[in-house]
Structure 1
Amino acid sequence: MPAQKFEKKLDSLISVEFKEKDGPGLVFLVSKNGKAIYEKAIGKANLELNVDLKNENVFQIASMTKQFTAVAILILEEQGKLNVNETVSKYIPDYPNGDKITIHHLLTHTSGIKDFTKIKALKDISQKEMTPEMMVDFFKNEKVDFLPGEKFEYNNSGYVLLGYIIELVSKESYENFLKKNIFDKAGMKNTFYATDRQIVKNRAYGYHKKESGYVNKTVISYSIPFSSGALMSTSADLLKWQNALTQNKLLKKENLEKAFRKNHLNNGEEFSYGYGWHLKDIKGIPTREHGGHLFGFKSMAVYIPSKDIYAVTLSNCDCNSPTEITKKIAEIMLKNYSN
């Protein structure tokens, strides 16, 4: 498929799915062999100032943060500072049942720990500045949902614990560890631990859609999602991230591969989550995927390793879900490059 025809196909797919141009919107980036071959932005970055979205805009990426947390853990393992089979109690001695829960359980959402997003009291702390230790204390004494390794159930608490362990082991903040070991090495100059106070150049504002129209996003303290969902980035920086992984700039190949292996429950049943990525497929071709959702923002990225195809979509309204369209874009790319 010639580039022009291919662009037309993606343009028409996007225009059918997202017709509104005056509301918040989305940015799209598609790459092949590490190079962006399609970029598009539709909608507004700021409704009050009537500013159009552009691909340079910085978005909350929400749970896509989990990829960075998982890789940070593997970097510490490569440095010989921890092992994913070690238990939580090695690092947090008073953690309930911590001698049965491993770092591997946290990475794979099989720990059984109560997800803090399901705790009613969350609204009482949602705007407080919490330390990682305070966040762990918030959920650690909740009744567990199941025993470690019994089930796969998506869990934000596990990834908050991982961020706390990163700080304890590295003796620096999660934010600094990621900047030094990931963002700087990958050349990601527009990726940050989220803040509402500091000036972030090209920041896209987040929105909700109500019956009466759009409203500004609910304000929360980013210390709540922490290492499970507090990063912000651009589509171009996320491509740099993907390329840094592909080119083994951050980890040796054999160590990074752990993130992309399917795992097994105690009963031997396989489930399709690695460390920070869902391991799925499009028409039988393996993919690595993850999305995110945080007040006012949604994100989704699909990577097809065998073709080095990457598709990422970022939205500044939680009314626009990028999940299905990103998969459709990846499918069109796959068709285009399957010959």
Structure 2
Amino acid sequence: MKRSIQIYTLLLVWIITCNPLHTVFAQCFEQKTDSLIQTVFHDKSGPGGVFMVTQHGKPIYQKAFGKANLELNVYLTPENVFQLGSMTKQFTAIAILMLEEQGKLHVNDPVSRYIPDYPSGGKITLHHLLTHTSGIKDFTQMKSLSAIAQKVMTPAMMVDFFKDEPADFAPGEKFSYNNSGYVLLGYVIELVSGEPYKDFIQQHIFNKAGMRNSYYASDRQVIPNRAYGYHKKDSVYVNKTSISFSVPFSSGALMSTVGDMLKWQNAINTNLLLNAEETKKAFTKYRLNNGEEFTYGYGWHLREINGTAVRAHGGSVFGFKTMGVYIPCEDIYVIGFSNCDANSPTKVTEDIAALALDILKSK
């Protein structure tokens, strides 16, 4: 009887870990994923990208393509640190909800509660800022942006830069992607918490989630495994344009690795940072004043891939582009980083997510 149990156990282990059918699916997925990535990231001598696919919180695919530094001839690895661009907005949104959970603010509070002199601040709520429905001018669309792009700006200075611009529409009338709103949210985080945004994110999110390779961006700080950013001018790669990270601030100034972004996703899934009720607010579709539903929660686009609901967000900042797609029903997370803004990982990452869904269904 004892020997029968041992044989059964060994057979079960073989089925789980050594099943040829399981291996075939894994090889098929790897080959097809490689092919999707190499349609864009095919220049082995140039900058490239890092991609990770995970299911149930663990990597099932992880590869790097191209170089992290052209001048030093250093190749990318999955451990490289990239600028996130607008994926920063996820962290800003969760930070706001963390403060709400602590009773220090409410998403329906007017901006004027925190910045009394903000024009029409009594009509614009934090919810409007979180959902890109505030109507305030996006500072990245202002012609005068070049005048401050390389200056060290305080959050108050950034708000002063755009606050007197005419509104594009009344609060709640439309959805229009807006970086200014997330700069305002970062300023509110500082005013309410009494901590610099950089420190709040570090102490209450990065440290708590174990994200030891994530940072508020800096060109002066020595950051181990930093990937350097590039532009492509005609057919030649050039170093990225410099920017003061105090300008994108809480709308786009964080850095991370694919491994740390998995820790971020796992922290959200396990309610490590927020309770379930608050977390749900980030992934709820909201409505405009006329009752029309739009597909953005708090810091995430809420879309579909082949009829399956996904949470997604990309980022773009000088020299870098990023994209992340999470599929809740299958607990699949796909993340793609590029260190050249001529090569976007957006479609590739979405295509890999669709492939992962197809492979699972075929099993």
TM-score, length basis structure 2: 0.92
Structure with higher Rg: it is: 2
- In structure 2, distance between residues paired with 1:325 and 1:128: 35
Runs of 4+ aligned residues of structure 1 deviating over 3 Å after TM superposition are none
1:35 aligns with 2:25: no
After superposition, give the CA deviation of every residue in 1:61-92 in whole Å (9 maximum; x if it has no partner): 00000000000000000000000000000000
- In structure 1, distance between residues paired with 2:167 and 2:96: 24
- In structure 2, distance between residues paired with 1:5 and 1:225: 40
After superposition, give the CA deviation of every residue in 1:260-302 in whole Å (9 maximum; x if it has no partner): 0011000000000000000001111100000000000000000
* Paired position in structure 2 for 1:213: 236
* Paired position in structure 2 for 1:167: 190
The structure 2 residue matched to 1:255, chosen from 278, 283, 296, is 278
Q: Report the residue type matching 2:295 in the other structure.
A: S
After superposition, give the CA deviation of every residue in 1:136-170 in whole Å (9 maximum; x if it has no partner): 00000001100000000000000000000000000
1:196 aligns with 2:219: yes
* Paired position in structure 1 for 2:14: none
* Paired position in structure 1 for 2:105: 82
Q: Report the residue type matching 2:182 in the other structure.
A: Y
Aligned ranges for residues 131-170 of structure 1 at < 5 Å? Answer: 131-170=154-193
Aligned ranges for residues 1-339 of structure 1 at < 5 Å? Answer: 2-338=25-361, 339=363
Q: Report the residue type matching 2:230 in the other structure.
A: Y
Secondary structure of 2:226's match? coil
- Cα drift, residue 17 of structure 1: 3.2
- In structure 1, distance between residues paired with 2:41 and 2:52: 16
Q: Which moved more, 1:204-213 or 1:107-116?
A: 204-213
- Cα drift, residue 185 of structure 1: 1.0
- Cα drift, residue 32 of structure 1: 0.4
Secondary structure of 2:104's match? coil
- Cα drift, residue 315 of structure 1: 0.3
TM-score, length basis structure 1: 0.99
Q: Report the residue type matching 2:165 in the other structure.
A: E
| Aligned alpha-carbon RMSD (Å) | 0.8
What is the aligned-residue identity percentage? 66
Q: Which moved more, 1:296-305 or 1:208-217?
A: 208-217
- Cα drift, residue 2 of structure 1: 2.2
* Paired position in structure 1 for 2:19: none
- Cα drift, residue 15 of structure 1: 2.2
Q: Report the residue type matching 2:254 in the other structure.
A: L
